[in-house]
Amino acid sequence: MNNGNLLEVKDLSVVYNDSSRKAKGNKAVNNVSFTLKKGETLGLVGESGCGKTTLGRTIIRLQKECSGHVLLNGIDLCSLSPSRLRPLRRQMQMIFQNPYSSLNPRMTVLEIIAEPFTGRYSRKEKIERVSKLMVQSGLDPEMMSKFPHEFSGGQRQRIAIARSIAADPMLIIADEPVSSLDVSVQAQILNVLKSLRDSLSLTMLFISHDLSVVRYISQRVAVMYRGSIVEIGKTEDLFKNPCHPYTKALLDVVPVIDPERKIYQFNSVQSSDPDLSENSGCPVFNRCSKRKDECRSEVLKLYPCAGEEDHYCACVDSYNK
């Protein structure tokens, strides 16, 4: 029935919580649809305010109010009552951005990682399982009696990763897990995530604003802007042949280690900050020579990109690219 799709998101919309934005009718997540196959990693990329975090939190049902459908293995999570949802929650786990607030400061590492299976195993079994998980995440099991504040940011993130796989989930949503870490630590954590994903055949939704990180870890990428997906496709395709002008502009302005490329030459796309830019619809509307009336619409429809399989773009001109 679900043809190999672990996760199916259909017409998902989330309205803003605060009253001023609610009045304007703006949506944090605007009619988003995509699928995720088992074992696949989808990178969700976008700037602040694009709704990627809200989307992740809605899928995992931390954000309750929404319209649309989130199907995990065929079961629509949005239609379940809280008591029926609770046992299913273990199947999807989240890794959060801030390693300082995502761990309970009063619990030891052992207690934190063992929480998903409290009450099921004897203490000895628990310790064994937690040690294994710690080793898998690159931590020293001797440290399991320590408290979160005794670890560095990178190590805390490893604890968070160990906790998330302890629940034996089908889906992991990583919400900017390396954004607050140093470059060298970021590399370590990304390697851990990649190797765990491969060895445990995990399905992952990787949310980040960093295009290079997303490229490294994802097999498919979706680019979001103001609540809608503007482009989605296989990583190689999207990065080599970006279809939507917004994606192209993003790729232009990412600082790369190329001293010949002077970053301050690029000033092309309008800010994604909803307070600064006036128009709704396509982010490059003002500059586009091929713009049409549909481009101004709130809901961006995805069109297949010419000549490429499984590559969709919200630009009405995609057929011609």
Partner 1 sequence: MLLDLKNISVSFHLRGSAVHAVRSISLSISQGETVGIVGESGSGKTVLSLSLLRLLPSPPAMIKGNALFDSFDLINCPDRDIRSIRGNRISMIFQDPLSSFNPYLRLSNQLIEPLLCHKNISRKEALEIAISMLSQTGITQPHKKIQCYPHQFSGGMLQRAMIAMALVTKPAILIADEPTTALDVTTQAQILSLMKTLQQQYSMSIIFITHNLGIVAGFCDRVHVMYAGIILESAETISLFKNTAHPYTKALIRSVPSLHSTVDKLYVIGGPPYDPSRPVKGCPFAPRCEFGIAECFEEKMELTEVAPNHFTCCSRIKKGEISL
Partner 2 sequence: MKTKSKLAGNSLWREGIRRFLHNRLAVTGLIFLLVVIALCIAAPLLTSYSYEGQKLSDGATPPGTSHLMGTDVLGRDLFTRVLYGGRVSFSVGLCATLVSVLIGVCWGAVAGWCGGKVDSIMMRIVDIAYAFPFTIFVIILMVFFQRSLLLLFMAIGAVEWLTMARIVRGQVMSLRHQEFIDAAIGLGLSQPKIILRHILPNITGPVIVYATLTIPAIMLLEAFLSFLGLGVQPPASSWGILIREGTEAMEEYPWLLLFPGAILSLTLFSLNFIGDGLRDAFDPKSSRE
Figure out which of the listed residues 5, 93, 235, 247 binds partner 1, where binding follows CB under 8 A. 235
Q: Are 116 and 166 in contact (CB under 8 A)?
A: yes
Identify whether the C-beta of residue 11 lies closer than 8 Å to the C-beta of residue 227: no
In one-letter notation, the amino acid at residue 177 is P
Is position 213 an interface residue for partner 1 (rule: CB under 8 A)? Answer: yes
Is the torsion defined by CA of 180, 181, 183, 189 positive or negative? negative
Query: Does position 251 bind partner 1 by CB under 8 A?
Result: yes
Measured from the CB atom, the residue of 62 and 254 that comes closer to partner 2 is 62
Distance between CA atoms of residues 177 and 89, nearest Å? 20
Contacts (CB under 8 A) with partner 1, residues 118-157: 152
Q: Tell me which of 48, 67, 104, 212 binds partner 2, using CB under 8 A.
A: 104
Site size with partner 1, rule: CB under 8 A: 45
CB-based contact 221:291 (threshold 8 Å) = no
The correct pick among 15, 80, 143, 299 for binding partner 2 (CB under 8 A) is 143
Distance CA 105, CA 248 (A): 43
List helix spans (H) across the chain.
19-24, 52-59, 82-85, 109-114, 123-136, 153-166, 183-200, 211-217, 235-240, 245-253
Binding of partner 2 by 15 (CB under 8 A): no
Q: Which does 145 bind (CB under 5 to 8 A by kind): partner 1, partner 2, none?
A: partner 2
Residues in 256-295 at the binding interface with partner 1, rule: CB under 8 A: 256-267, 269, 271-273, 275-276
Amino acid, single-letter form, for residue 106: R
As to burial, measured by CB atoms within 10 angstroms (0-12 exposed, 13-18 middle, 19+ buried), residue 86 is: exposed
Applying CB under 8 A, does 21 fall inside the site for partner 2?
no
Closer by beta carbon to partner 1, 211 or else 315: 211
Contact letters (x/-) for partner 2, 160-189, by CB under 8 A?
x--x---x----------------------
Tell me the C-alpha distance between 290 and 303, whole Å.
Answer: 16
Residues that bind partner 2 (CB under 8 A): 57, 60, 62, 86-90, 92-94, 96-98, 101-110, 115-116, 127-128, 131, 141-147, 149-150, 160, 163, 167
Residues that bind partner 1 (CB under 8 A): 47-48, 152, 182-184, 186-188, 190-191, 194, 209, 211-213, 215-216, 235-236, 239, 249-251, 253-267, 269, 271-273, 275-276
